[in-house]
Structure 1
Amino acid sequence: MTLPIRIGVQLQPQHSTDYNQIRDAVRRCEDIGVDVVFNWDHFFPLYGDPDGAHYECWTMLGAWAEQTSRVEIGALVSCNSYRNPELLADMARTVDNISGGRLILGIGSGWKQKDYDEYGYDFGTVGSRLDDLAGALPRIKSRLAKLNPAPLRDIPILIGGQGEKKTLRLVAEYGDIWHGFTNAETYPGKAEVLDGHCADVGREPGVIERSAGVEGGNDTDALRASADALAGLGVTLLTVGVNGPDYDLGPAEALVRWRDAR
């Protein structure tokens, strides 16, 4: 199965005290030809001032659904621990309907302990959080099938993570897109493990879109080299992270030009 090369931008919702800066960045992403715009599901900045400005994930996605008309939108990724699976399914269906069928439901098991502690969630262990994700995914799919009105499409489920025993098994069973937080050096080994899990569950590996972050910062040559290497390995959704408050889209523009020149 041959999938098109797509460019994603993760607008990291941190260090911007004025939401208008994020709104403008989303508009610019659509204008320059980005395919997917992501945020992330945290409550505090991941780097820089740990108590700096930060916005909530899914409220923002609802605003993006109204603001945009072409790009797909989603979280890279939502934390399974923060919402009841049925509620998350309903939220996803609602944002999908608002957007006209452009939501990607990104999800992972969670990892940032400060988020859990500050907001009153049980952090548990890596294993318990993965077990919770395994229990949540069929519940999400079941609820999506029951909602009225239904989603406007079969909402793609993006699963983030690279754990070989549990996470990649869940990707094989439930994922439409896999974001492994890998680079060109680490991707092949993880992809081989995923392919093995697909064989075990009787699923064709090629139907799962492969996603990864592009390295290189503002160095255009390095960005293109990273993108070439990943695409050569079969990664088709290539995403660059952009931080607030300025949201410099120069790297995204370079990747869009790279995509269009292929």
Structure 2
Amino acid sequence: MTTTSRPVRVGVQIAPQHASYATIRDTLAELEDLGVDIAFNWDHFYPLSGEPDGLHFEGWTMLAAWAEQTSRIEFGPLVTCNSYRNPDLLADMARTVDHISAHDGDTGRLIFGIGSGWFERDYDEYGYEFGTAGQRLDALAEALPRIESRWAKLNPAPTRDIPVLIGGGGEKKTLRIVAQHADIWHSFADTETLERKLGILGEWCEKVDRPMSEIEISVGTRGARGDGLPDMDRQLELGVTLFTLGITAPELDMQGVRDLVAWRDSVTS
């Protein structure tokens, strides 16, 4: 049993690479049928693993299709790159996808994952200025208030307060931005590092006068098999409630997804 007041959730990131769109679409349908809580893709222009020039699709246009295709599952980018789009345009894109996903009068299901960007090939090939990590983080800090302001101005407004997920673990800038703006903080940190960074996030929340309990804690996981289980149990004790497994073609390991869903159900029963 978990002691957290938040529900334990399972996310699955479908890498939009090395597969036809039909395969990605069918995989998403299977994830929804299996009871996965959130489906993610990513916001890159080239594969991150395997053949560097292999099949790959753009993320936000894919999310619009996912909004129509699905009826229950939440979804979003893990994460969108702040550098690739004007912040006001990005806010409008997210609001539109939010509305597309609001079927039969329900609220939308988009989770707005965002980060400062890191994959230099995307920048070089598409003509963006890469700059430094610090510059990209400063740009993210400047963009988020613009995004939030644009959401408040749009007509129609988003169907709900779109949850903002911020990815990254930088202690001087990223976690400060998380404390100020995030509804969800996502990290790929190991358990020991995660525990330390949660302490730092708590310090930032105190500095910006925000309860840390308002932020859901999310981690990337190796799955509910073998060596992954002790980490997941400890992370659950630390307050993690969103566990996200990445899958990619050609394997698209659905058994790992089934195991993770079964673990979620076992700790929440």
**Which residue in 2 is equivalent to 1:234?**
239
C-alpha separation between the residues in 1 aligned to 2:147 and 2:244?
25
One-letter amino acid matched to 1:229: R
Matched-pair identity in %: 60
- Matched-pair contact (CA < 8 Å) for 1:183–1:230: no
Cα drift, residue 34 of structure 1: 0.2
Residue aligning to 1:254: 259
Q: 1:45·1:54 contact (CA, 8 Å) conserved in 2? A: yes
Shift of 1:221: 2.9
Q: What amino acid is the match of 2:6?
A: L
Q: Are residues 1:3 and 2:6 paired?
A: yes
Counterpart of 1:205 in structure 2 is: 212
- Alignment correspondent of 2:193: 186
Q: Deviation at 1:246? A: 4.0
Give CA-to-partner distance per residue, 1:148-206, whole Å, 9 cap, x none.
11111000000000000000000000000000221212101111110000000000001
Q: Tell me which residue corresponds to 1:140.
A: 147
TM-aligned CA deviation for residue 261 of structure 1: 1.4
Residues 1:222 and 2:227 are matched in the alignment: yes
Report the secondary structure of 1:145's partner residue: helix
**SS at 1:236 equivalent:** strand
CA distance in 1 between partners of 2:96 and 2:122 (Å): 25
Is 1:68 equivalent to 2:77 in the alignment?
A: no
Structure-1 residue corresponding to 2:79: 77
Shift of 1:2: 1.8
> Match of 2:13, SS?
strand
What are the equivalent positions in structure 2 for 1:157-168 lying under 5 Å apart?
157-168=164-175
1:31-180, aligned counterparts within 5 Å?
Answer: 31-100=33-102, 101-180=108-187
Please give the TM-score of this superposition, normalised by the length of structure 2.
Answer: 0.94
**AA in 1 matched with 2:115:** G
The one-letter amino acid of 1:99's match is S
Q: Say which SS state the counterpart of residue 54 (structure 1) adopts.
A: coil
Task: Name the CA distance, whole Å, in 1 between partners of 2:231 and 2:39.
Answer: 20
* TM-fit CA distance, 1:62: 0.3
SS at match of 1:110: coil
Give deviations 1:88-107, integer Å, cap 9, x for gaps: 00000000001111000000
SS at 1:69's partner residue? Answer: coil
Q: How many residues align?
A: 259
What is the CA distance between 1:48 and its match in structure 2?
A: 0.9
TM-score by length of 1: 0.96
Match for 1:110: what amino acid? G
Contact preservation (8 Å) 1:223, 1:251: no
What is the match of residue 105 of structure 2?
Answer: none
Q: What pairs with 1:19-34 in structure 2 (closer than 5 Å)?
A: 19-34=21-36
Q: d(CA) in 1 for partners of 2:255 and 2:16?
A: 18
Higher mean displacement: 135-144 or 1-10 = 1-10
| 1:59 Cα deviation after fit | 0.4
Alpha-carbon shift at residue 227 of structure 1 (Å): 2.1
- Give the deviation of 1:223 after TM superposition: 3.4
Show CA shifts across 1:78-132 (max 9, x none).
0000000000000000000011110000000000000000000000111110110
